[in-house]
Amino acid sequence: MPAETDQILDSDLYAGTRHPRETYALIGHEAAEASLLAAYRGNVLPQAILLGGPMGIGKATLAWRLARFLLAHPAPHAPEVTAATTLHVPQTHPISHQIASLAHPDLVLLRREWNERGKKFFSEIRVDDVRRTTHLFQQAAGAGGYRIAIIDSVEDLNASGANALLKLIEEPPPRSLFLLISHRPGHVLPTLRSRCRLMSLKPLSDEALAAIIAELGPPWTDSESARHQASLLSLAQAAHGSLHPLLRRLDPNGRGIEATVNRLLGDLPRVDWRGVHVLADQIATDPDNNLEILRTTIFDWLDARLHAQTRQMGSVMPLDLHSLAPLAEVWDKVTSDLREAEALNLDKRQLILSLFTDLAAAVEASTPVLHL
């Protein structure tokens, strides 16, 4: 963390929003919340829970909500736990203050850390980050409660970090809880996934997304679209159950970059190189935020194309998974290239040219099979 500020920097924070550890409302996952509360009361809470689902649907919010409740109420049979109907702990509670400032001694957050030398976040969760958490699980928890680790997200773990985490989870001390957040649980290391109870969270409804925007308040509620319920629900419908695309559509800068990226992607396999160069200049004005918009827009587009091509192929011929391989492979390559560019501080303009070269090749390789 930079020495010149006491501000907590978060690699997993969507710009302009509150971090999930400072979010006290849970919208859209009431059934999952109820099942976790019941498991805690029944003393059958798993020691490792993999919270899976698309990015931006509230997985981290639920993880922090559960952690707050367990640390605020360390006795599962206490009257306040028996009477509780949700996992809500008020913002005024001392535990909430400790967690918001990452100062609770029985909780650790594993995430991409700040690189003081490079003045940016590391591109992955390193093995040394995981090893530092072992200290928490080697000491007794305060008030006989839980020791909790939140991993946000599992996809950010490098191979050594994933294996080190696996060793921790394989032989956890009593009253330990690992909350692993995953945007693609099927890609989690199989041995790690097998040690966890998978809790799959569904995309949010349009109404739930609109309610979250209302709860976030300004500046997200200031736009013309947000002030009219019908317009907001229309934007929410296009977000496919994830908050992040909706936030981009309410942010003028995000809207512009997203529209440009989607237009360029829609032209593939033909590449509008002039448009790509213009996009590269836009990204370079604020790479930290704009690269995230680029990343999520590309992944949303790839996800939609994979689903569309699967449906189209299945309707006209037996499903040929081999023909989908180029799109699946370019997904992994885009992920790898973006991480490498961040880690090594590579030229962002060259990165974007390379991404569109790879995406065009993947689309061209899969298109003939579909007879588009």
- CA torsion sign for 167, 170, 174, 180 is positive
176-182 and 48-52: which strand pairing? parallel
The CATH number assigned to the domain holding 97 equals 3.40.50.300
pLDDT given for residue 4 in this prediction: 36
Chain segment 146-170, per-residue pLDDT in tens = 999 999 999 999 999 999 999 999 9
- Residue 358 within a domain: yes
Tokens for 147? 């020791």
pLDDT digits (tens, 9 = 90+) for 248-292: 888 877 788 888 999 999 999 999 999 999 999 988 887 777 888
Residues 197-245: pLDDT tens digits?
999 999 999 999 999 999 998 888 887 777 788 889 988 988 889 998 8
Please identify, among 158, 179, 200, the residue that sits at the C-terminal boundary of a domain.
200
Q: Which amino acid is at 163?
A: N
222 in a structural domain? no
How many domains in the chain? 2
Sign, CA dihedral 114-116-120-122, equals: negative
328 and 268 both lie in a single domain: yes
Q: Are residues 162 and 302 in the same domain?
A: no
195 plus 265 within the same structural domain:
no
Task: Quote the pLDDT of residue 187.
Answer: 87
Q: Does one domain contain both 87 and 192?
A: yes
The least confident of 193-197, 294-298, 357-361, 367-371 is 367-371
Sort 189 into a burial class: Cβ within 10 Å, 0-12 / 13-18 / 19+. Answer: middle
Based on the fold, state whether residues 195 and 282 are members of the same structural domain: no
Do residues 42 and 191 share a domain? yes
Please indicate, yes or no, if residue 215 is contained in any of the structural domains. no
Q: Are residues 91 and 171 in the same domain?
A: yes
Domain encompassing residue 361: 251-370
**156 in the same domain as 35:** yes
Task: Beginning with the edge strand found earlier in the chain, give each strand of the sheet holding 197-200 in spatial order.
Answer: 107-110, 147-152, 176-182, 48-52, 197-200
Residue 200 · residue 187 · CB < 8 Å: no
Q: Specify if 11 maps to a domain.
A: no
Could you tell me if residue 116 is inside a domain?
A: yes
Same domain, 91 and 184: yes
Residue 242 lies in a domain: no
Residue 220 domain flag: no
191 and 257: one domain?
A: no
